[in-house]
A = this chain, B = another copy of it.
Amino acid sequence: MNIINGNVTSPKGFKAAGNAVGIKKNKADGDNGLFESKKDMAIIVSEKPCTAAGCFTTNVVKAAPVLWDMKTVNNGIMGIVANSGNANACTGQQGIDDTEATAARLAELIGAKAENILVCSTGVIGVNLPMDTVLKGVESTYALVGDSYEKGLSAAEAIMTTDTRSKTAAVTVEIGGRTVTVSGMAKGSGMINPNMATMLCFITTDCAISKPLLDKALKSCVRDSFNMICVDGDMSTNDTVLCLANGMAGNTEITEENADFEEFRKALRYINRKLAIDCADDGEGATKLIEANVKGAANEEEARKIALSVVSSNLLKAAIFGEDANWGRVLCAMGYSGADFDPMAVTIEFRSDKGIIRLMDDGKPVVFDEEKAADILSEHKIFIDMYLSEGNGSATAWGCDLTYDYVKINGDYRS
């Protein structure tokens, strides 16, 4: 597997564009910089129809585009149209009609049907889309699509909300003597939680792979990536991961779980994991990335619960922001995770590029060097390693610290 400098336009046959069409409020003179980039529409299209797979929010309240994509993803897909600035969530029947009209507009432009188009929205909840703006925007954005690196980057920028940077990744792998490219773009920031959040991720690949195996590969990769990150415990109404495979790499179609499948899944896992960690790292207001590693839980499920509980604890997240080695909050969050374990047999360490420090040893608090701990916690990426004595279950989750800026951003997001 080769990591390359690419994005959704890297695989053969994909074009994209990002554009400012006027859905986001004009904040050119604003003082908070939230909408510094006013790009608010992205389109990705494929030259040939794609096999598609999707993972969606488990929130009972699903935004209109999520409901649309959940049925549409099983068709041959020609493109994705995504807007930022308005989530088209909690918008009643009008929202559902608006999603279909958006799909129909792009379909018309490329000579397909609405049901061949996926739609995603992210931004404010509970406000109907300005459909004149959206439909004109689809037209002007489609006019810009191209297969260059810059076009792909522009699309990644156009789905940002409170993200501070765009998120892209790309790799190539050799499958059946052909070079297959897998690439993706994502946006995250707030409402990031297990089982996804206001998180959108679009993956493109020129791999030839059957629908059942694409479904299977995507599901397993999302489970260990986007479903293991937490920014604030809020699970959004709009979370979506979509993967489009147009088969243009020319490899023999993957139709069984052979070596080719594993190679493809390895590439897909890398893309998912890279983009998920980028989302945690760029959580709203975040200054630090937290990686929680659990080893020795009763089983994998228990390990996942513990790891997620730790990266979700407001108290721990605030302590990490304050660079305070408050390991008691780690044990506390482990304790209310729902997993069962013996607290008297737990070892906890904090780690960063500056070193490693043991804070609890087999259930007993360790008298530790506060200066060394502060030095370790001064780094950007903080590892929290937890060792239990229940079995062989292990898991990793990612999160970020809780900061003044999180409160600031979310205290007045709509205005």
Q: State the A residues within 8 Å of B (CB).
A: 58-62, 87, 89-92, 94, 124-128, 190-191, 193, 232-237, 312-315, 318-319, 321-322, 324, 326-329, 331-337, 339-341, 343-344, 359-360, 363-365, 402-404, 406-415
Contact = CB atoms under 8 A, between A and B. Distances in A.
Given A59-B332, A328-B125, A344 B92 contact: yes
Nearest to A231: B314
A65 to B, nearest CB: 15
B336 A234 contact: yes
Given A59-B336, A364-B92, A404-B407, A234 B125 contact: no
Contacts of A62: 335, 343
A87 to B, nearest CB: 8
Contact of A407 (B127, B190, B403): B403
B232 A412 contact: no
Q: Is the interface of A mostly helix, strand, loop or mixed?
A: loop
Given A60-B335, A340-B60, A343-B90, A126 B327 contact: yes
Nearest to A313: B234
A297 B332 CA distance: 32
Contacts of A337: 60
A61 B332 contact: yes
A59 B332 CA distance: 7
A298 to B, nearest CB: 12
B406 A318 contact: yes
A92 B365 contact: yes
A93 to B, nearest CB: 8
Contacts of A314: 232-234, 314, 406, 410
A94 B344 CA distance: 12
Contact of A322 (B125, B321, B364, B410): B410
B236 A332 contact: yes
A58 B337 CA distance: 11
A406 to B, nearest CB: 7
Given A336-B60, A403-B407, A126 B331 contact: yes
A192 to B, nearest CB: 11
A365 B90 contact: yes
A411 B333 CA distance: 16
A409 B232 CA distance: 18
Given A191-B315, A234-B313, A315-B410, 14 more contacts: A61-B331, A61-B335, A90-B331, A90-B332, A90-B360, A91-B365, A92-B363, A92-B365, A124-B328, A127-B365, A233-B312, A234-B336, A322-B412, A324-B412
